[in-house]
A and B are shown apart, each in its own frame.
Chain A
Amino acid sequence: NAGVTQTPKFRVLKTGQSMTLLCAQDMNHEYMYWYRQDPGMGLRLIHYSVGEGTTAKGEVPDGYNVSRLKKQNFLLGLESAAPSQTSVYFCASSSGGKVNTEAFFGQGTRLTVV
C-alpha cells in the first residue's frame, strides 16, 4: 500500500531558486495538507485543500504556493527559496474535516536552502 508519497526526499537549493514538491495519495481522500517541521516547533500548517481545485492558507503560508488540479495530487511550490525555508516538509491527507479524523503522512522532504 503506497498511501501518501512525497517526491523528492531530499533537495538542496540555492537562495532564489524555485522548486516544486509533489505529494500523491491513493486513498481517495478529499483533504490534503502541507506542513513544515522545525526543531522544537512541532508541525506548522502551510496550506491545505478540502477538495480538487480548492486551496486555503494555513498558519505559515508566506513564500509558498500550492495547487490541487487532481484529487490525488497536491503540489507545494517555492518561487524564490530563502534560507528560512530550510525545513522538513510533510504532506498529509485525510478523509474529511471532522473532529476525530485521522491524518496519514508521507515520509517527508528534507529541504536545505543555502
Chain B
Amino acid sequence: GDSVTQMEGPVTLSEEAFLTINCTYTATGYPSLFWYVQYPGEGLQLLLKATKADDKGSNKGFEATYRKETTSFHLEKGSVQVSDSAVYFCALSAAMDSNYQLIWGAGTKLIIKP
C-alpha cells in the first residue's frame, strides 16, 4: 500500500544553518504531497503542499519540490531560526473508498539551538 518514509530525528541544528528533512513515498496513482508542522503543545498545521510532479511548495522560507522520478518531497530551508523548532510531518493523499485520505510519515523533530 501507499506509504511515507521520513528521516528519523531528532535533527539538531544551530540557528542560521541549512535544513533538509528527507521524505520519500510509495504510491499508486498521482498523489498530492504535503508537509505539516506541529509546534509544541499544538495541533498540526499545513506548512506547504504540491499537487503534481515538479511543483514546488513554499511557505515561511521552507520549500519542497515534488520529484516523481525519485519519489521524494524533501523539505528545505536556507537559514533556520529557533522558532522553527517543531515536529515536521510529511504526508501524501491516497485514494480510499472513492475518497482521498492522508497517509503520514512518522514525523521528524527539529531542534534549533541559538
Contact = CB atoms under 8 A, between A and B. Distances in A.
Nearest to B1: A59
Given A50-B99, A99-B93, A100-B32, A42 B43 contact: no
Contacts, number: 58
B45 A100 contact: no
Contacts of A44: 104
Contacts of B41: 107
Interface string B39-52: 00111111001010
Contacts of B105: 42
Interface residues of A, number: 26
Contacts of B106: 40-42
* 3 closest residue pairs by CB, A with B: A97-B99, A105-B43, A42-B104
B97 interface: yes
21 contacts: A40-B106, A42-B106, A43-B44, A44-B104, A45-B101, A45-B102, A48-B101, A90-B44, A92-B44, A97-B99, A98-B100, A99-B30, A100-B32, A100-B51, A101-B100, A102-B34, A102-B46, A103-B44, A103-B102, A106-B43, A107-B42
B89 interface: yes
A24 interface: no
Given A41-B106, A42-B104, A42-B106, A56 B46 contact: no
Contacts of B49: 100, 102
Contact of B100 (A40, A41, A56, A99): A99
